[in-house]
C-alpha cells in the first residue's frame, strides 16, 4: 500500500492525465472493459493525455519493476487491457483523429475507436479497412492485423499502416516507418502490443462511400447446408469489392424479420459492396435465390451506419469467450460441424461467423508483415456470449467443442486478436514463420519483457 500512495503522488505530479486509485469512481470506470468475464484490480490506472504521460508511466513501471498493462479500446477478448496489482496505461482519453484528404492520410491517437476513425475519414468520403464493431479500439485491432468489410479490396489494417509513434520499454519516443526503425515497423504490423505503446498511427485512406450497398439476407437453418454450398461457389467468383460473410445464430428480434422467426436458428449473409451500388445490386441478386428468404434488409446506406450495424449485438457488459480457426476452403464436412454447433447453441447471444478474406488481404508474402496468414481465405470466430457466471462452463464448453471439431479443416495458425486468455500456447501458432524474427525484434526493443501483459512473444536468447 505504501508504494501505491507514493506512486500516486509521484505520477500525478508528472503527468497531465488523471491517476486513478482503488476506491474511486474513476478507477472503477477505468477498470471496466468490454468482456465482463475480466475482473482485475490494478494498483493504479493512469488516464494519459499525452505521449509524454505515456513515457513517464513506462519509465516508472520499468524503474520500480511493476507489472504494466496498456488499455486502448479495452475490447481484447483475453482482457489484456488490465493487470492485477500493477500499473495500467489507459489511452482512452487520447482519441484524436486528424485527416489529410489531399494526401489521403489519417493520424490516429492510440485510444481512438473504430467509430472515431470512421466518422473523421468518412467526412471526406475516405476509409481504412477496419473491423465490424465501432467501439473496438483502433490500436489493438491494428497491432493484431485487423480485417473487415473492406479487406478484400484494400487489404488488412496493417497493410494500410504507414507510420507510428511508439514509446519503447526504455521510455524513448520513436517515429517509426519503413525507412526509420524498419524492423520495429515490421513487427508492429501484426505483432500485438509486445514492442511498445503506440501513441499515434498514420494510415493510408481509400475512397469509400460515404454511402454504399450493404445489409443482411436471412435464411432458415433447415436450408443452411444448400445455402452454404451455394455461398461457397458464389464467393469464389465474387469481385474483391464484394464482401459476403456467414453468420449462424438464433435470430434476434430485428424489425425486418417476422416475429415467428425471432429466437429460431438462422443462417444470415452479411453483405458489403465497396463500389457502385447499381453494380452491387446486380452482383448480389443471385443470393436471394439461395433458399427461402425469411427477411432482407439490404440497401444503400452510409458506410458509418453499416460499421455500427452489429454494435447492438456486441455491447459491453456480457461474458464472452472466443475460439477461432483460419480456412483456405470451406468443405461440406466443416459446414456440418458448424450446423451441429448451431443446433447446440447455449445462449441466444452466441454466434458463429465466417469472414471472407482473399483478394488484397492475401497478396502480400507471409513475411511482408508480422501478420503471416495470407493463405487464410476465411476466418471463423466461435463467439460464445452470455450473461450469468453460472453459465460459464456450459458456454465455454460449446465454443471449445466446435473449435476441436473444426480443427481438421483448418489451415493452421491463429488470428492473435481472437485468442482467449487460456490459449497462450497459440502464440507461436499465430506467428508461424515470423515468430523467430519477432523474438529477435523483441530482444532489441524490450529485452526485459516489460510489455508482457499481452499474447506474449518472449525476447530471443542472446
In 3-state terms, what secondary structure has residue 226?
helix
CATH 3.30.43.10, the chain: domain bounds: 2-90
Give the rounded percent of residues in the chain with a pLDDT score beyond 70: 98
Band of pLDDT at residue 256, cut at 50, 70 and 90: very high
- Check residues 421 and 100 and name the one with the higher pLDDT: 100
The runs of H, that is alpha helices, within 103-202 are: 114-122, 138-144, 151-154, 182-188
Bridge partner list, 300: 213
Classify the C-alpha dihedral 317-319-325-330 as positive or negative: negative
Sequence-distant (6+) residues with CB within 8 A of 402 are 323, 337, 338, 341, 352, 382
Question: Does 3.30.43.10 match the CATH number of domain 2-90?
Answer: yes
Give the side-chain half-sphere CA count within 13 A for 274. 24
- List residues bridging with 237 in a β-sheet: none
All CATH 3.40.462.20 domain ranges of the chain, comma separated, are 211-418
The percentage of the chain sitting over the pLDDT mark of 90, rounded to a whole number, equals 94
48-83: per-residue pLDDT in tens?
999 999 999 999 999 999 999 999 999 999 999 999
The per-residue pLDDT of the chain, averaged, comes to 96
Listed in order, the ranges of the chain carrying CATH 3.30.465.10 are 97-208+433-445
The residue behind cell 497459440 is: 426
- Grid coordinates representing 409 are 479443416
Phi first, then psi, for residue 245 (nearest 5°) are: -110, 155
Position 91 pLDDT exceeds 70 = yes
What is the β-pairing status of strands 378-386 and 105-109?
Answer: unpaired
Q: How far is CA 192 from the centre of its chain?
A: 11
The model's pTM: 0.95
What CATH number is given for 97-208+433-445 in this structure? 3.30.465.10
**Where is average pLDDT lowest: 7-21, 109-123, 321-335, 436-450?**
7-21
pLDDT score recorded for residue 413: 87
Strand order through the sheet with 105-109: 97-100, 105-109, 197-204, 161-167, 173-177
**Span 191-230, pLDDT tens digits:** 999 999 999 999 999 999 999 999 999 999 999 999 999 9
SS3 265: strand
- CATH number belonging to domain 211-418: 3.40.462.20
> What was the pLDDT predicted at 430?
93
Query: What's the CA gap between 326 and 238, in Å, rounded?
Result: 20
Question: Is 312 or 462 the better-scoring residue by pLDDT?
Answer: 312
CB 427 within 8 Å of CB 170: no
The CA angle 380-384-387, to the nearest 5 degrees, is 160
Averaged pLDDT, 359-388: 97
* Exposed / middle / buried, residue 400 (Cβ in 10 Å: 0-12, 13-18, 19+): middle
Q: What is the mean pLDDT of residues 329-356?
A: 98
Amino acid at each position: 500500500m505504501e508504494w501505491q500512495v507514493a506512486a500516486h503522488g509521484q505520477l500525478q505530479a508528472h503527468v497531465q492525465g488523471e491517476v486513478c486509485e482503488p476506491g474511486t469512481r474513476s478507477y472503477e470506470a477505468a477498470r471496466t472493459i468490454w468482456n465482463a468475464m475480466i475482473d482485475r484490480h490494478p494498483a493504479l490506472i493512469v488516464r494519459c493525455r499525452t505521449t509524454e504521460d505515456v513515457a513517464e508511466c513506462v519509465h516508472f513501471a520499468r524503474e520500480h519493476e511493476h507489472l504494466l498493462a496498456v488499455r486502448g479500446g479495452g475490447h481484447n477478448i483475453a482482457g489484456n487491457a488490465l493487470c492485477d496489482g500493477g500499473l495500467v496505461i489507459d489511452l482512452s482519453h487520447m482519441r484524436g483523429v486528424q485527416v489529410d484528404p489531399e494526401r489521403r492520410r489519417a493520424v490516429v491517437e492510440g485510444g481512438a475507436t473504430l467509430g472515431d476513425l470512421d466518422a473523421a475519414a468518412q467526412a471526406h468520403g475516405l476509409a481504412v479497412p477496419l473491423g465490424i464493431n465501432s467501439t473496438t479500439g483502433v490500436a489493438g485491432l491494428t497491432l493484431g492485423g485487423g480485417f473487415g468489410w473492406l479487406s478484400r479490396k484494400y487489404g488488412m489494417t496493417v497493410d494500410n499502416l504507414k507510420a507510428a509513434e511508439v514509446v519503447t520499454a526504455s521510455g524513448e519516443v520513436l517515429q517509426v516507418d519503413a525507412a526509420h526503425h524498419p524492423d520495429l515497423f515490421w513487427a508492429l504490423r501484426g505483432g500485438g502490443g509486445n514492442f511498445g505503446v503506440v501513441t499515434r498511427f498514420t494510415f493510408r485512406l481509400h475512397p469509400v462511400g460515404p454511402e454504399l450497398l450493404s445489409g443482411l439476407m436471412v435464411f432458415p437453418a433447415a436450408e443452411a447446408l444448400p445455402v452454404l454450398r451455394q455461398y461457397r461457389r458464389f464467393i469464389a467468383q465474387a469481385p474483391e469489392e464484394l464482401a459476403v460473410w456467414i453468420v449462424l445464430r438464433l435470430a434476434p428480434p430485428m424489425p425486418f424479420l417476422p416475429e415467428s422467426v425471432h429466437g429460431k436458428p438462422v443462417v444470415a449473409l452479411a453483405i458489403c459492396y465497396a463500389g457502385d451500388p447499381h453494380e452491387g445490386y446486380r452482383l448480389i441478386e443471385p443470393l436471394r435465390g439461395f433458399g427461402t428468404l425469411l427477411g432482407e434488409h439490404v440497401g444503400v446506406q452510409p458506410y458509418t451506419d453499416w460499421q455500427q450495424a452489429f454494435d447492438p449485438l456486441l455491447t459491453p457488459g456480457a461474458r464472452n469467450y472466443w475460439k477461432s480457426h483460419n480456412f483456405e476452403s470451406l468443405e461440406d464436412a466443416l459446414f456440418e460441424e458448424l450446423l451441429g454447433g448451431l443446433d447446440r447453441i447455449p445462449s441466444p447471444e452466441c454466434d458463429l461467423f465466417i469472414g471472407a478474406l482473399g483478394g488484397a488481404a492475401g497478396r502480400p508474402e507471409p513475411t511482408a508483415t508480422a501478420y503471416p496468414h495470407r493463405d487464410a481465405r476465411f476466418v471463423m470466430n466461435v463467439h460464445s456470449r452470455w450473461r450469468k457466471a453460472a453459465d460459464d462452463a456450459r458456454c465455454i464448453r460449446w465454443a471449445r467443442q466446435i473449435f476441436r471439431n473444426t480443427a481438421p479443416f483448418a489451415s493452421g495458425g491463429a488470428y492473435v486478436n481472437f485468442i482467449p486468455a487460456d490459449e497462450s500456447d497459440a502464440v507461436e501458432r499465430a506467428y508461424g514463420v515470423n515468430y523467430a524474427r519477432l523474438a529477435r525484434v523483441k530482444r532489441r526493443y524490450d529485452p526485459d519483457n516489460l510489455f508482457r501483459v499481452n499474447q506474449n512473444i518472449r525476447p530471443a536468447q542472446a
